[in-house]
Amino acid sequence: MKRMQRCKAVLLAAVAAATTLSAMPIGAADDDVYYYDEETGITYNMTDDWLHVENGVVVDEAGNPVWMTGVNWFGYNVGSQVFDGVWSQNMHEMLNLIADKGFNLLRVPMSTEILLQWMNGDPDPATPKVNQYENPELTLEGIEGGTIMYSFDIWNKAVGWCRQNGIKIMIDIHSAETASAGHQVSLWYTDKFSTEDWLTALHWFADYYKNDDTVIAIDLKNEPHGKADVPDLMARWDDTTDPQNWKYAAEQGAEAVLSANPNLLVMVEGVEVYPKEGYDWSAPQIDWTTMTEFYHGAWWGGNLRGVREYPIDLGEHQDQLVYSPHDYGPLVWNQTWFDKDFTTQTLLDDYWYDTWAYIVEENIAPLLIGEWGGFIDETHDADGKNKKWMTLLRDYMIEQRIHHTFWCFNENSGDTGGLVYDNFGKWDEEKYALVLPSLWQDEDGVFISLDHEVALGANGQSLNSYYGGSTPGTVPAETTTTSTAKTGLCGDVDGNGEVSIADVVLLNRYLAEDTAITVSAEGLANAETNDDGVVNSQDTSAVLRYLAKLQDQVHT
């Protein structure tokens, strides 16, 4: 019995006309929704990969621990209307590269503004920055030099390609307004977009993808921050319902998300400052006469001290909560904890533990470091301190099994650089070598997907494969039929005399080598729909297409 709440069985004939998803939803059974992808000829179970928290650990539906180890790729938040770099390189190939390199989660910065634009079907304010000669798939005509698609259609192409690659997606509301400097705004609202607009955008996005577990998480707001020197713009964390109270806003945001899809993980970042003992949020930032500081400082979004006294309360959905601080090195800003010959222990003592690490070490909740990264080359990091910090944090995340998304894939992040360079055309092997040990992989170095059926990239494996299910790299396995004659009804896998969605479910489980079920020799013979001598995903698709009335008989 599946634990997640899902929509019950429905037959869906096609995707909404507003999208250009290559995957076509054609059926559902029990609590599962299936999509037939015409591009790959594969039928995907769209609702078997939701994650939740048990005893402080993120697990799949069977209770197996997972490790989200991903990367950030921005562009949609800054006005490009697409991932940055698609102006010079092929988007599909870059997503393939991310999967092949072992990143199983893609954190995608968005803005409230662009989500509302898509929700309302408003036109792009600027043409998406797409090189249509490098990306003919992103043109309306499907040709080099064609007319560039609408940005939401391009986004859904990316969602489909992530699905094919075994990559899961987490969006991040990086800013209220779409702007290159939008992340510098301290709060989740502006004069142009209110808290209500933010909640509307969250709810719409969660609802739109509620039957697509390619999208498994939402980071409610990137880096709430602000200090007491500008009190009206300071994100706070307490038990009030003040408009600036991030804890209260985050609980509202989580409700907006989970009321649409209770299966999504909700990431809650921290704030920037937190009052020291004996003071409250009315204290000034500093007493300049005595140089007394009244707040504990942190990176933007990094301060989760408030969780100890005022934990996030999601009610019945508490098992969808993950806290998500950000952490950076001395090249982003030379914080006081870098002023010594720092070690893991000094970083814990001076900053990490009381700011966010206690949450995972005391098993309060899981952590996902939503941003970490930086330069490690001699030009920027001459003394090696940034590389040292990055290595220490990496090893601590491995030790504590902390989830993370590296910042970033883009080369055009001014204070960190990225995993690619030369106009997104070359891979930074030195930086990747540093990140590589922190990516989820087995003892043989084979990367592990967060998808139960789809292997991660060209050489990775699926969750079923890792936990003893289907063969790596196959979705699903191909089985040679026996010589048993087809005495029953074509497509009647369970042998009950009729063809139904239950036959699809049984066949998918058989192909995934689910040892909890059996299929008779006659049922296996009936499952073979096209006389090619094998049972595979093409047969599953034929039954689904028949049930969805897309073909008039099962046999093809």
| Catalytic site positions | 223, 371
- DSSP letter, residue 183: G
d(CA 135, CA 535): 35
Closest CA to 234 of 225, 243, 242: 225
| Peptide bond before residue 490 is cis, with ω within 30 degrees of 0 | no
Closest CA to 439 of 391, 479, 486, 394: 394
Exposure string over 5-31, b if 16+ CB within 10 A, otherwise e: ebeeeeebeebeeebbbbbbbbbbbeb
Q: Say if CB 71 and CB 98 are below 8 A apart.
A: yes
d(CA 143, CA 145): 6
Biggest alpha carbon–alpha carbon distance for the chain: 93
Q: Say if CB 373 and CB 366 are below 8 A apart.
A: no
Would you call 76 helix, strand, or coil by DSSP?
coil
208's tokens: 């739109």
Map tokens 């006309």 to a residue: 17
Which whole-number Å values give the CA distances from 134 to 76, 145, 425, 476, in the listed order?
A: 19, 8, 12, 31
The phi, psi pair for 472, rounded to 5°, reads -55, 135
How many angstroms from the chain centroid is the CA of residue 456?
14
How many angstroms from the chain centroid is the CA of residue 34?
20
Residues in the chain: 556
Contacts of range 200-204, beta carbons closer than 8 Å, 24 or more positions apart: 200/116, 200/119, 200/256, 201/112, 201/115, 201/116, 201/119, 201/173, 202/115, 202/173, 202/253, 202/256, 202/257, 203/256, 203/257, 203/259, 203/260, 204/115, 204/116, 204/119, 204/260
462's tokens: 């699926």
Q: Say if CB 513 and CB 469 are below 8 A apart.
A: yes
